Amino acid sequence: LGVVEALRRELAGGLGAGFDEVAWDVASGAEEYARALPALVSDVMFSAAREAVRNAAEHGRGPKNNDHTRELEGSRRLCLNVAMALRDGLEITVTDDGVGISPDAFSDQGHGLGFYTILLAVLGGSMTVESGAGGSTVVLWIPGHAPSRSRPSHARPVSPALRCVLERLQGVALTPLRA
């Protein structure tokens, strides 16, 4: 599976129930490009995008700390937009029109956005988060990669130590995109 198809399946399943509307904006060629990414890179992009979507679904309507806010959160509409584009690599943008992301989203507890920021950085990519009263935007970016079956002669291999760390992380925290 590619990143787009895997995210679509997640949203068609239980994760999509957190939104009133989900829109997709996938640029021409982006889905094919994503399918050709090396498996580890694809797995990290999918897992990071899923975490951004999960955070939007869970927190986009506001805090759940008392009965009054629980009543209010049910009345607030929450829409999600997932965009994918080619910008010197692959960029996935997850935008919601909720209440914004709390600073707690980057705490060191669990495998939240902070964890995926680190994983993307290890792979040469990045995650940026913009948040305010009108919603949140999480942008995931990974630089251009050769298709998984070939590598240009100038590409540098991943060091054995880094590969070991990433494989261990993959086994613990990432969901492989296998069919």
* Cα(174)–Cα(120) distance, integer angstroms: 12
The packing angle between helices 39-59 and 160-173, to 10°, is: 40
| CA angle, 112 then 11 then 43, to 5° | 50
Q: Per the structure block, which two tokens stand in for 91? A: 């960029």
Cα separation, 145 vs 89, in Å, equals 7
Three-class SS of residue 136? strand
Q: Is 73 helix (H, G, I), strand (E, B) or coil?
A: helix
Q: What is the pLDDT along the chain (179 residues), one digit of tens a residue?
A: 689 899 999 999 888 999 999 999 999 999 999 999 998 999 999 999 999 999 899 888 887 654 554 455 557 889 999 999 999 999 999 999 998 876 665 555 555 888 899 999 999 999 999 988 889 999 999 998 644 444 334 344 555 556 666 666 555 444 455 54
Does residue 145 contact residue 37 with C-beta atoms inside 8 Å? Answer: yes
